[in-house]
């Protein structure tokens, strides 16, 4: 017998049931992973995306170093106000020694976000922000047209919105 806090029969059943709810339980291309905390989910998503970006660079003619030339890294753009453990995960786990550079931006300042994407869009691979920042509850100041513009400026970018802090319990 094994003891583990991260897996159980109940968790496996929940993962199976979620696949069933979304009618994906019999599809080999789909899987479900239930994690024990928000930080575990954030770390898993960001780590997977960084690894995916790195794998894509090594399997194509694109430079492993990143953007437009060999000396420019890929960018992981993130909101300038993050829960400490998220910032720590980005700086010391994902970007330390990799071909990623972490670049903070004030997500409450629409012009600052657009300017960063205009200047360095070809390098941006991940844009991570919190729907409501922790701890001050600031909100992203962008609409659907703005996101379409960001997508045009950084077509390789994956957009990741963390909705952990803006939960139903905290905001009802």
Tens of pLDDT along 9-62? 888 888 888 888 888 888 788 888 888 788 888 888 898 888 887 676 554 433
Collect all residues with Cβ–Cβ distance below 8 Å to 95 and sequence separation of at least 6: 76, 101, 102
pLDDT for 79 equals 92
pLDDT for 147 equals 94
* Model confidence pLDDT, tens digit, residues 69-97: 445 689 999 999 988 888 888 888 788 87
The answer to whether the pTM exceeds 0.95 is no
């Amino acid at each position: 017998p094994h003891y583990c806090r991260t897996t159980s029969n109940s968790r496996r059943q929940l993962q199976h049931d979620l696949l069933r709810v979304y009618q994906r339980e019999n599809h080999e291309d789909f899987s479900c992973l239930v994690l024990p905390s928000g930080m575990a989910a954030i770390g898993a998503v960001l780590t997977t995306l960084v690894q995916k970006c790195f794998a894509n660079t090594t399997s194509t003619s694109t430079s492993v170093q990143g953007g437009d030339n060999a000396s420019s890294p890929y960018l992981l753009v993130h909101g300038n106000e993050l829960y400490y453990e998220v910032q720590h995960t980005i700086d010391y786990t994902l970007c330390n020694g990799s071909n990623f550079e972490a670049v903070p931006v004030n997500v409450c300042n629409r012009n600052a976000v657009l300017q960063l994407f205009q200047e360095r869009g070809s390098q941006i691979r991940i844009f991570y922000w919190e729907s409501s920042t922790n701890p001050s509850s600031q909100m992203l100041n962008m609409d659907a047209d703005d996101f379409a513009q960001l997508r045009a400026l950084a077509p390789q970018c994956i957009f990741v919105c963390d909705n952990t802090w803006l939960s139903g319990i905290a905001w009802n």
